[in-house]
Amino acid sequence: MISSGQKNARRRAVKALHFIAALCEGLGVVVLFSMMGIIGADVIARYLFNSPISGAYELIEIMLALLVFLALPASVRFNSHITVDLVDGVRSVLFNRLSGLIVSVSSLAIFAVLTVELYVHASKLKSYGQVTNSLEIPLYLVGFLATFCCFICVLIILRGFVSSWRSKP
């Protein structure tokens, strides 16, 4: 039997997880709008003043990578990723639970491996002192943020997996 203290702790942990996912989503929105502003300003500066913004292309590349990884926790949290129903005619409860289990386990494995590999790669980038060419932005920062976002995805998948198996069909 679970005590009320454990239930409250679990509830707080889930709220914190959802807050972090929402924070990632908000940061993604900021990054997207920043990208739009930089691209717009660069186009205007390039064609009206014949003087492009130096490092704009490099900054857009980094922001695009950040945008992809910042959007992942929200996508996993709201289950808004692309799905294809190959066996649409099968609607049994057992089949739905089994297919959900397979999807959850495979998603969990993929994000766990991605989290570990990104962490290893970001650590190498930090030890090498790798920076971008013109702006000299440390690349390990992008790697560690991507690692953090993938780790949040792992936690969200685990939470969904546990809650789906606790509920009755």
Q: What sections of the chain are H helices per DSSP?
A: 4-48, 56-77, 93-128, 139-166
pLDDT at residue 168, rounded to an integer: 54
Length of the chain: 169
Distance between CA atoms of residues 3 and 45, nearest Å: 63
pLDDT at residue 104, rounded to an integer: 85
In the chain, which stretches have pLDDT less than 70? 1-2, 85-90, 165-169
pLDDT at residue 88, rounded to an integer: 63
Whether residue 167 contacts residue 90, with contact meaning beta carbons closer than 8 Å, is answered with no
Neighbours of 37 (CB within 10 A): 10
Distance between CA atoms of residues 114 and 120, nearest Å: 10
Whether residue 159 contacts residue 17, with contact meaning beta carbons closer than 8 Å, is answered with yes
pLDDT at residue 65, rounded to an integer: 94
Relative orientation angle of helices 56-77 and 4-48, to the nearest 10 degrees? 150
Whether residue 67 contacts residue 32, with contact meaning beta carbons closer than 8 Å, is answered with yes
pTM of the entire predicted model: 0.84
pLDDT at residue 2, rounded to an integer: 65
Using CA atoms of 15, 23, 116, 126 in order, give the dihedral in degrees to the nearest 10: -140
pLDDT at residue 87, rounded to an integer: 66
Distance between CA atoms of residues 66 and 149, nearest Å: 10
pLDDT at residue 38, rounded to an integer: 94
Whether residue 139 contacts residue 125, with contact meaning beta carbons closer than 8 Å, is answered with yes
pLDDT at residue 89, rounded to an integer: 66
